[in-house]
Structure 1
Amino acid sequence: MVTSTTAPPARRPGAENLVRPVGALVDTVLGSRGCLFTFHRVAAPDRWETLPNRNFYLDLAFMDRLLGYLKRTGWSIVTIEEAMRRTRRGTAGDRFVNFSVDDCYRDTFEEVIPLFRRHGVPVTLFVTTGIPDGTLPMCWAGLEDTLLNNDRVVVRGETIAVPTSEAKRAAYDRIAAAWDQDTPELRYAEFCADNGVDADAMDRKHAISWDMLEAVRNDPLVEIGGHTVAHRRISSLSAAEAFAEIDGCRKRLQGRLGVAADHFAFPYGRSGDCGPRDFDIVREAGFKSGATTRKGLVRHGQDVFRLPRVTLGGAQRHLALAELHLTGVSGVAARVLGRV
């Protein structure tokens, strides 16, 4: 069980019980439903509070509570492979959840997989192969780490004081937004030089390795799928470039780990990031499914190459909000607001 010296955020006890009846109504209408959750990194509650990019991380104690809650309330936690089987069957009353980790970092191996093992349930790893290969610089992790462990940083000749957690978060948002409009890899290399950061050591500190992936490749509670070679936005690429990112990832996983790597998740994954052409490319590359980050439930007859997934961010530490995702309410709201 995950423990921490920091108490979890205050929440209304039992608030999730007020939402759960909506799920019963959904079951009556739909017959079966699945919800695919995705996240990137995890951190213990006391560390989570200090992180400059903390919404990128799930509170590990909340994940522990959520897994326990799902098991107590009759949800099946399954692989993507099993979710596809259940989607085809559409058995009345069937309720299932999948959890997938996108990108995959060292904490996937050190924290996420052990937590899921303790609960006896599977987790899906959508691996960006450039991370264990060391060809994709850990720009955002390196920026965050440097801010977290220093009281000031130098950015393009400007010294920025970051003495508090609030100042570090503000600096991270400002710097990351500027890098995202430019060439992050080049800006990060300049940042490392200006601040005496060993980029290779930073990569080793945060990246998942092939040795780690080899250690779990035969674990029945670990499913391994693809998330491109270099985490590029597929819709922005030519058809040939997109195929190389998608097919190259699958072939690298198969060749290095000897796994089927049958399932794929799009980087970013919203409507502007992947479309019909890209769904077809995933199929052509030999994958059995393609997952987006468009909120919604998985239902009988679902197009398996445009699977909806709900992204869990760090601020989402309430079971009542998880119930809104499980009932599909958050997906409806996202479509109404145009956040797809």
Structure 2
Amino acid sequence: MFLKAKAKRLLKHAGIRAGLETVALTRADALWPSAGGRGVIFTLHHVRPAETRTHDPNALLSVTPQFLDEAIRACAEAGLVPVALEDLPRLLADASDRRRFVAFTLDDGYRNNAEHAAPVFRRHGVPYTIFITKGFVERSRSAWWETAEALTTRLDMAEFDFGQGLEQLDMRRPAQKRAAFDRFSAFVQTAGDEDETIARLDRLARAHGLDPLAIVDRLVMDADELRALARDPLARFGAHTLTHVNLRRAGASRLRDELAGSAEAVATYVGRAPRTFAYPYGYAEAVGEREVQAAADAGFAIAVTTQPGMLGPWNLARPTAFGRVSLNGLYQKKRLVKALISGIPFKLM
């Protein structure tokens, strides 16, 4: 089973890379300039120096500061104007302004955003927006993907109930570790109540000497650090819910609370009410019309998904459903950033 999953994953990434390389090498952007629309919003998570790991299931969530620098340079060479995310609705609504824009966003408030990403943005004078989850800042909610990575890295064997009774997980080899991580990921994202599945994963971690909240404490900025970073004139902060829950799986009352409560928390941390919001996960199964309307009702000027797409006039009709393009650790080449900027890969999807 894990060999089949690995093969499928490798084929997917090989296909994506081949598509990006083809666009980059053929300079197809020159033949189809309209595909790039009015620019792009980029998504990032971790920005930190490279590490050599045999097991790195969250590799796509991490880029190096050097690659971030290259990505910014690629945008400049393509003529994109860096702007704050919150300014995009106003800029796109100006019919006399035909410039193309780029906005950089970072999800989850990782400490390395301040340590490694902020200096790069400052060097280039580029605004950036960090999306904050209150539960991470307050150390009351674990980041399950970080917990699952720590578990599968540390353990060679474990017992866990995925819903059909206890199973023995053999994680002695890297491929088995990745297969186990994928099963934990699917379990949290699809099996029953998300709070309960995360709690069960947390219990497994604690039973093996891992503290899920200590992992968050090590990785994520606290309120004081956010307050300090807010002094950077290029820094902006958006809301990212209270608990990083899949909002499409939340009831109506919780949906409202996750939006309003996270906005209040961000205002408390940085002294300014957020105008922007990022949906946790952000894919189609996590963001529907109900959630898009709820973000608008909550007063956010702009909300972003992780569903890829370029900027254009169509965004003005649904300002709480902007798409974003991932700058991720699997494709850290300047020429691939230029391929993404072209917008052509998303026209062919």
TM over 0.5: yes
Which residue type is aligned with residue 108 of structure 1? N
1:193–1:276 CA distance, 2 compared to 1 (3 A): closer
Q: Deviations over 1:202-235 (max 9, x none)?
A: 2211222111111111311111011111112222
Could you tell me how far apart the structure 2 residues matched to 1:226 and 1:92 are? 28
1:23–1:58 CA distance, 2 compared to 1 (3 A): farther
1:48–1:224 CA distance, 2 compared to 1 (3 A): farther
Is 1:152 the counterpart of 2:156? The answer is yes
Q: 1:308 aligns with which of 313, 319, 323?
A: 323
Which residue type is aligned with residue 325 of structure 1? L
The aligned runs of 1:1-340 (5 Å cut-off) are 15=24, 18-22=27-31, 24-26=33-35, 33-47=38-52, 50-91=55-96, 93-148=98-153, 150=154, 152-156=156-160, 162=171, 165-180=174-189, 181=191, 183-300=196-313, 302-303=315-316, 304-334=319-349
Q: Is the 8 A contact 2:44 2:106 kept in 1?
A: yes
Q: Is the 8 A contact 1:295 1:308 kept in 2?
A: yes
Q: Is the 8 A contact 1:52 1:147 kept in 2?
A: no
Q: Is the 8 A contact 2:84 2:103 kept in 1?
A: yes
What secondary structure does 1:97 align onto? strand
Aligned residues: 321
Q: Deviations over 1:131-179 (max 9, x none)?
A: 101121132212213433x362423376756556544333322333334
Q: Which runs of 5+ in 1 are unaligned?
A: 1-8, 335-340
1:155–1:221 CA distance, 2 compared to 1 (3 A): farther
1:290–1:35 CA distance, 2 compared to 1 (3 A): same
Instruction: Please state how far the C-alpha of 1:25 moved relative to its aligned partner.
Output: 4.4
Q: Is the 8 A contact 2:35 2:344 kept in 1?
A: no
Could you tell me how far apart the structure 2 residues matched to 1:106 and 1:54 are? 17
Aligned-CA RMSD value: 2.9
1:16–1:125 CA distance, 2 compared to 1 (3 A): farther
Counterpart position of 1:5: none
Could you tell me how far apart the structure 1 residues matched to 2:22 and 2:313 are? 34
Q: Which has the higher contact order (CA 8 A, sep 6+)?
A: 2
Q: Is the 8 A contact 1:153 1:195 kept in 2?
A: no
Could you tell me how far apart the structure 2 residues matched to 1:262 and 1:240 are? 21
Q: Which runs of 5+ in 2 are unaligned?
A: 1-16, 161-165
1:75–1:242 CA distance, 2 compared to 1 (3 A): same
Could you tell me how far apart the structure 1 residues matched to 2:126 and 2:53 are? 24
1:196–1:36 CA distance, 2 compared to 1 (3 A): same
Task: Please say which of residues 39-48 and 274-283 is displaced more in the overlay.
Answer: 39-48
What secondary structure does 1:302 align onto? helix
- Tell me the TM-score normalized by structure 1: 0.83
Q: Is the 8 A contact 1:51 1:165 kept in 2?
A: no
1:179–1:139 CA distance, 2 compared to 1 (3 A): same
Task: Please say which of residues 163-172 and 115-124 is displaced more in the overlay.
Answer: 163-172
Instruction: Please state how far the C-alpha of 1:59 moved relative to its aligned partner.
Output: 4.2
Could you tell me how far apart the structure 1 residues matched to 2:126 and 2:70 are? 14
How high is the sequence identity, in percent, across the aligned residues?
26
Counterpart position of 2:163: none
- Tell me the TM-score normalized by structure 2: 0.81
Q: Deviations over 1:22-57 (max 9, x none)?
A: 463447xx6xx0211112223433347752321222
What secondary structure does 2:115 align onto? helix
Could you tell me how far apart the structure 2 residues matched to 1:270 and 1:25 are? 25
Task: Please say which of residues 193-202 and 152-161 is displaced more in the overlay.
Answer: 152-161
Q: Is the 8 A contact 1:48 1:59 kept in 2?
A: no
Could you tell me how far apart the structure 2 residues matched to 1:246 and 1:102 are? 15
Could you tell me how far apart the structure 1 residues matched to 2:95 and 2:187 are? 46
Instruction: Please state how far the C-alpha of 1:82 moved relative to its aligned partner.
Output: 2.6
What secondary structure does 2:90 align onto? helix
